[in-house]
Amino acid sequence: MDLELMINSFPKLLSAAVITLKLLSVSLIIGLFIGLFFAILRLNKNIFINRFAYGYSYVFRGTPLLVQIFIIYFGLGQIEYLRSTILWVILKEPYWCAIIAFALNTGAYTSEILRSAFQTIKPGIVEAGKSLGISNKVIFYKIQIPIAIRQSLPAYGNEIILMMKGTSLASTVTIMDLTGVAKYIISTTFKPIEVFIVAGGIYLFMTFIIHNVIKFLEKKYSFN
Amino acid sequence: MELLAFGDTGWGDELFYATLMTIAVSITAMFIGFLFALVFTPLKLSKNKFLNFIANSYTTIIRGIPELLVIYLFFFGGTGAVMFIASIFGYNEYIEINAFITGALAIGIISGAYSTEVFRGAIQSIDKGQFEAANVLGLNKFGKFFKIILPQILRLAIPNLSNVWQITLKDTSLISVTGLVEIMRQSYIAAGSTRDPLFFYSFAAVLYLLLTFVSMKLINRLEVKYSRGY
């Protein structure tokens, strides 16, 4: 055990963890909107819209996140037309490519979580709203969405933790996040176990915090 | 389409073998995962607090740390660990470990943590009366387990194990960082030499979709088989 290396690498890894958290929070926020959008499409009765939304979530859940990042980062740059548009400002940055991939990925999982949450809402609740003369729009935004959010909290908590682990793939497209820095230190010092303990410890700490925040929210918004 | 031709002119046969490699690594990893689950599930259900603690640490740590970091640990640490053990026995030459074994072991340990949780859940949701009834019938330990408990565990566990299989299959793409030529690595090589990453990575995505689609169909059959009578 090289304690000195562990102590020395801790601040470096900690500042890299900030990048991990940034990647995580930005992609979760964008992913939540994507997820909500596709969950609403899934509830649509039009078969084409429905199938489109299902296809989106099937493709993004059925392929590895690594493939998705590589298609966006290496693949899209190949299209000449894209290079001439304003989109290129975003797509040439590995940071934004990673965020786009993460957001689309988590959006697919979130849409499934929200869809099942919407479907478990008892029809009686919607009917109660209607009989009170509330418009459909208000029923959706003020009754169905809050209930769906509460229902989906446990599953969404898991998704946040999975996504946090997913952000480690950003290191494959040159971003120095927690895993990227850990790999760099390992490959320069050849002390994998020490670095793994420190980096893994930071990841576990973040998992622990997320887990407890979700638990707290579940309790706060529980119906009982 | 020329790019996918079999033989020297295209990447068809290379990608075909890479797909077989992905399947082989996934199955090996899943199997190693089952072995881990076989050890850790009883520890999780044990009444001994210390054994409990060991099993809980295993599942919590593995499920809370990114797969890629675990793979890096095995990739960079594996050779060192094996050489250290070998040096105890007086062997000091350089030993290179097969990328397949390192990769399958790393993914297997991850997969094992998920499988352990699935089996624990399945065993806990079996009614106590089933165990008692088996005792009353005078079955021995093996008969009790294989004829009464295991079929019920499988019925409850198969839907969740199919999720674990999906996770394992997708995680094998991460082994590409260690140089094992599976779908992702082969696409990377092909993309590099043809300068057509969009095509090859999209094709890799299609291959993975195909694998998940086919395996889901097969698992659904198993599910039907084990839930007859319900």
pLDDT higher than 80, residue B220: yes
Pairwise CB contact (< 8 Å): A75 & B197: yes
Model pLDDT for residues A38-84, shown as the tens digit of each residue: 999 998 889 999 999 999 999 999 999 999 999 999 988 888 787 78
Average pLDDT, chain B: 89
More confident residue, A82 or B161: B161
pLDDT higher than 70, residue A224: no
Return residues 157-196 of B near A (CB < 8 Å): 166, 170-171, 173-174, 176-177, 184, 187-188, 191, 195-196
Per the document, the length of chain B is 230
Pairwise CB contact (< 8 Å): B66 & A161: no
Whether residue B213 lies within 8 A of chain A, CB to CB, comes out as yes
**How large is the average pLDDT for residues B169-173?**
95
Q: Give the number of other Cβ atoms within 10 Å of residue A8's Cβ.
A: 13
pLDDT bucket at A144, cuts 50 / 70 / 90: confident
Determine the pLDDT at residue B2: 67
Whether residue B65 lies within 8 A of chain A, CB to CB, comes out as yes
Chain B residues in contact with A196 (beta carbon < 8 A): 69, 72-73, 77
ipTM of the complex: 0.88
Out of A78, A79, A186, the one facing B72 most closely (by C-beta) is A186
Helix axes A192-220, B67-88, angle to 10 degrees: 140
More confident residue, A43 or B19: B19
User: How near does any CA of chain B get to the CA of A72, in Å?
Assistant: 8
C-alpha distance from residue B83 to each of A62, B39, B75, B99, B100 (Å) = 38, 26, 13, 16, 18
Model pLDDT for residues A189-223, shown as the tens digit of each residue: 888 889 999 999 999 999 999 999 999 998 888 76
CA distance A27 to A103: 5
**How large is the average pLDDT for residues B107-124?**
94
DSSP A141-160: IIIIHHHHHHHHHHHHHHHH
CA distance B117 to B98: 29
Residue A87: which residues within 8 A CB-CB, separation 6 or more?
none
Q: Provide the CATH topology of domain A3-220.
A: MetI-like fold (1.10.3720)
pLDDT higher than 80, residue B72: yes
CA distance A188 to A210: 32
pLDDT bucket at B145, cuts 50 / 70 / 90: confident
For B69, which residue in chain A has the nearest alpha carbon?
A179
C-alpha distance from residue B109 to each of B28, B37, B74 (Å) = 11, 9, 11
Name the interface residues of A facing B (CB cutoff 8 Å): 58-59, 62-68, 70-71, 74-76, 78-79, 161, 164-169, 171-172, 179, 182-183, 186-187, 190, 192-193, 196, 199-200, 203-204, 207-208
Determine the pLDDT at residue B127: 85
| Cα-to-chain-centroid distance, residue B64 | 17
Domains and CATH numbers, chain B: 2-226 (1.10.3720.10)
Share of chain B above pLDDT 70, in %: 99
Where helices occur in chain A by DSSP H, the ranges are: 3-43, 47-62, 65-70, 80-84, 88-91, 94-120, 123-131, 136-138, 145-166, 178-189, 192-220
Residue whose tokens read 């690595």: B185
Beta carbons of A203 and B65 less than 8 angstroms apart: yes
Residue B224: which residues within 8 A CB-CB, separation 6 or more?
none
Out of A65, A74, A199, the one facing B69 most closely (by C-beta) is A199
Model pLDDT for residues B56-69, shown as the tens digit of each residue: 999 999 999 999 99
Pairwise CB contact (< 8 Å): B173 & A199: no
Model pLDDT for residues A12-38, shown as the tens digit of each residue: 999 999 999 999 999 999 999 999 999
Q: Give the side-chain half-sphere CA count within 13 A for B146.
A: 4
pTM of the predicted protein model: 0.89
Model pLDDT for residues A90-136, shown as the tens digit of each residue: 888 899 999 999 999 999 999 999 999 988 888 898 899 999 999 98
Determine the pLDDT at residue B108: 96
Chain B residues in contact with A70 (beta carbon < 8 A): 184, 187-188, 197, 201
Q: So where are chain A's domains?
A: 3-220
The greatest distance separating any two alpha carbons of chain A, rounded to the nearest whole angstrom, comes to: 70
Determine the pLDDT at residue A70: 94
For B73, which residue in chain A has the nearest alpha carbon?
A192
